[in-house]
Amino acid sequence: MSAWTVAMLASGALFSATVAYFTWVRIPQWRELTYEEFRADFGRWLRRADAVQPMLAVAFLVSTVRFAQGADGANRLVAWVAAGGLAVSLVGSVAVMVPLQRRIAAGRSRRPEQARQRWYRGHLVRTSLVMPAFALAVVAAI
C-alpha cells in the first residue's frame, strides 16, 4: 500500500468522521436548544472544528488527487470522482458555509432562525458529498 493510499484513507476517515459527528450528533442536539443556547454551543464547537477540519479536508483532497494520479483503470476514475466530490464540498464550505457560520457565531444574523436552518441544510449537503467521496476513496484503494 502506497503512502498516498494510507494518507487518503487516514485523512478521509478522520474528516468523514468529523462531518458525520456534526450531522448525527450535534445537529439533533442543537435542534432542541433555544437560538441563544445553540449559538453559544455552536461557537464553542466551531472553534474546535476550525482547528482541525480544514486541514483534514485539504489533506484528504490532496492525497486523493495524488492517489488518482498514480492509479490505473477503474481505481483511477473512482478516485477522481471522489476528489471531485471533495472539491465541490470544499468550495461550497468556503463560499457559503464559513461566512454563514461566522455570522451565526458572532450573533450577526438578521434572521437567526433562518440562518440556523440554512446551516443545517448546508451541512447536510456537505455530508452528502463527503460520505460518498470517502466510500469511493475506499473502493478505489481496494
3-state secondary structure of 59: helix
The pLDDT of residue 69 is 96
The pLDDT of residue 91 is 96
Q: What is the pLDDT of residues 8-51, one digit of tens each?
A: 999 999 999 999 999 999 999 999 999 999 999 999 999 988 88
Q: What is the pLDDT of residues 54-111, one digit of tens each?
A: 999 999 999 999 999 999 999 999 999 999 999 999 999 999 999 999 999 999 989 9
Query: Whole-model pTM?
Result: 0.91
Residue 130 has pLDDT above 90, yes or no: yes
- Distances in Å between the alpha carbon of 30 and those of 109, 119, 122? 17, 12, 15
The pLDDT of residue 34 is 94
- Nearest to residue 67, comparing CAs of 47, 86, 50, 53? 86
Record the cell numbers describing residue 51, joined without a space: 482547528
What percent of the chain is modeled with pLDDT above 70? Answer: 100
